[in-house]
Structure 1
Amino acid sequence: MGSATGFNASAASAAPAGASTLTHAKLDLHEPSKDGALDKPGPLIGSVDFQFNPKELTLQKSAKWTRPTTKGSKRSSPPQYQGPQPSKLTLEMFLDESVFFDPAKKQDGSVVKTVEQLFKCCVPTDASHGQKKDSPPWVKFSWGGLTGFLAYIEQVQVKYTLFTPAGLPVRAVCTVTLQELAGEPPGTNPTSGGRVPHREHVVVQGDTLPGVAYQEYGDASLWRAVADVNGVDDPARLRPGRRLLLPTADELLRQAPPTAPRTPLTTPRAGSPAVTPAPRREVAGAVR
């Protein structure tokens, strides 16, 4: 994650004065993290290289405040701080294939290909879709030693400004907005201290809580913790279409109540009365 300014510029500031090496900016594309944590991305799956470096970068950081209203009051109540909002970075990409224009040469459509690559950053990756954990790629802007925060692409707006006689776009201006993924370490909520789920599973016909827990965490025994997070009273009756919130495995283990130790069964000594165990009760399909 970047600094309070939104960038980590330590390497850039260490560059020798007067250095004239041209370094192109880029957007690195990553798979989402496998454990749901928001501070470390998954494997690198590609990058979008800037043909021309941006002439300006717009950073935005805000805080959320609320003013409770009181009926009949003649003055506004004092503001209450609710916490920081995620950082945003807005940048422009200028794409131009016309500098290589030759009427006798067929254009390769590099401008359109780059635009399509940016648009794909707003739809789930093939890997996440195959695992039923739909998520677009996570991105990080970098420019030499200047590194931005881990983010997702919130919006891509493209304006084509030049076309070939055949109608192929050869020049475009792309406005890309990135929103920060992790403003706080995973596992805590800065305003309430409650659970912060990082994934969501939509129940389909045939799903069971142990099956969902095994698919997400590799441990079917965590189904009770998943049920507790989602307030599931009857795990045997999961309605298709219900959305289950899935925290990270570490958070789930921290939130799970400790298992009560079992009293070992012993064989009664000679002459001792036999002890009959109390009958167990069944509530909502679960033995207690």
Structure 2
Amino acid sequence: MVTPETLQQGRAALTPVRVAKLGPARSTDADYIKFDFNPATITISHTAQEPMSAGSAGKGQKGAGNSAPKAPTPRVVLAAQNVEEQDRARGTTSIALRALTFNGRYTNVAAACRRLLDWSHYVTVTDKNATSWVELPRLRFVWGTQIYLVYLKQVTVTYTRFSQSGAPVRAVVDLTLHSIPSAPGPTNPSSGGLAGRRTHLLAGAESLPELATRCYGGPGRWREIAAANGFDDPLRVRPGTHVYLPGAQEGGR
């Protein structure tokens, strides 16, 4: 006899398990590190910047009898349509992933942990104009509908099991990620990149149609946002998700 419980178990067996993965922001699926067990917890925290209000700097004077200078009033004046600048002014969003686990099912444990540690080191980047600077590698963390463009700020690897030869075959990893306020790549049209690329942190009850209206002038372009981020079910995108916003001229490509 087929019961509702049996049908539900059958559907669950047919549903592919979504594994958490981390890789270079511009990469194919084969370049990602895939975890055998998803994180036990994801903690999202935000640190607001304390911008100086006009005229508040330099008012404090040394000397007896002077009261301590007042703390600057957090105040930022930005054009409402400048989404990228608003995101940058909001501060730093940290994402803490705890107890991600490797056990050799998807990848070589030692090699995967070495790659994670490498991604937490600064590298030198040089553009076509021979201008050089250092930055952390730009990465993308994906787990189902949760997609974050990030820097890897801290890695803690704990090896918990070893082969007879001493090679690690199981590891538990804690990661601390910092969100990237703007999308990877140049945004100046003269630099060879597409203008207008950026990311947006979904908050509250924001929806993709609402975001499309604000950024592109019409709700119908939510499909382009969903396609660019690989959202299977755009209606279930959660607050706290960093959504990649393609340049306005990328539509229809």
Q: Which has the higher helix share?
A: 2
TM-score, structure 1 as length reference = 0.43
TM-score, structure 2 as length reference = 0.48
